[in-house]
Amino acid sequence: MAEGKEIRVVVIAMDGSDCSNYAFDWYKKNVHKPDDFVVVVHCPEYQTLMHHSVGHERKDIEQVAGKMQEEQKKKNDLLESLKQMLTDADISGKVKSIVGHPGEVIVKAAQDESAHLIVTGTRGLSKLRRTFLGSISDYVLHHAHIPVIVCRQ
């Protein structure tokens, strides 16, 4: 790297889906520069645990604890996989896992890292579904104060 050259920080939102993997590959092939520092941001979703009804029976509590352990293992496996993706692509960077609303987490992570660019995938929700469910990529587009690339397969 040349003396005095600023390192470009790129945040890539990844959840292990085909859409996020596509966004990573697209970034790698079309935008990546050798001096980039990539921050892969993962926002685990624990909704299935939150919606699981828990009674006061010991069996229910043990069941939820078991589900939580499963989710934690899946998350750890995914984080290792994301780290390996960076290594395999010979890209300098790190992986961050942050709990919260995904759109807010991505925008905040980009601010905290002084990022220059955000790259995200999209699941391609219909306009009607996006209206009711919201869209992470729409949120990021409207709230980030830096350029955002939304990669659609």
Q: Token match 């987490």: residue? A: 105
Q: What structural domains and CATH numbers belong to the chain?
A: 18-151 (3.40.50.620)
Find how far residue 121's CA is from the centre of its chain.
Answer: 9
Structural contact between residues 149 and 25, judged by C-beta atoms closer than 8 angstroms: no
Distance CA 115, CA 106 (A): 11
Question: What does pTM read for this prediction?
Answer: 0.82
DSSP strand pairing (148-151 vs 37-42) = unpaired
Q: Are 14 and 122 in contact (CB under 8 A)?
A: no
Spatial separation of the C-alpha atoms in residues 73 and 92, rounded to whole Å: 25
CA distances from 53 to 48, 69, 71, 73 (A): 10, 17, 17, 22
How would you write the pLDDT of the chain (153 residues) with one tens digit per residue? 455 678 999 999 999 889 999 999 999 999 999 999 999 999 987 655 555 545 556 667 788 888 888 888 989 999 999 999 999 999 999 999 999 999 999 999 999 999 999 999 987 555 555 554 458 898 999 999 999 999 988
Q: Is residue 96 within 8 Å of 44, Cβ to Cβ?
A: no
The DSSP-derived string for 73-132 is HHHHHHHHHHHHHHHHTT-EEEEEE--S-HHHHHHHHHHHTT-SEEEEE-----HHHHHH
Assigned token pair, 126: 């219909």
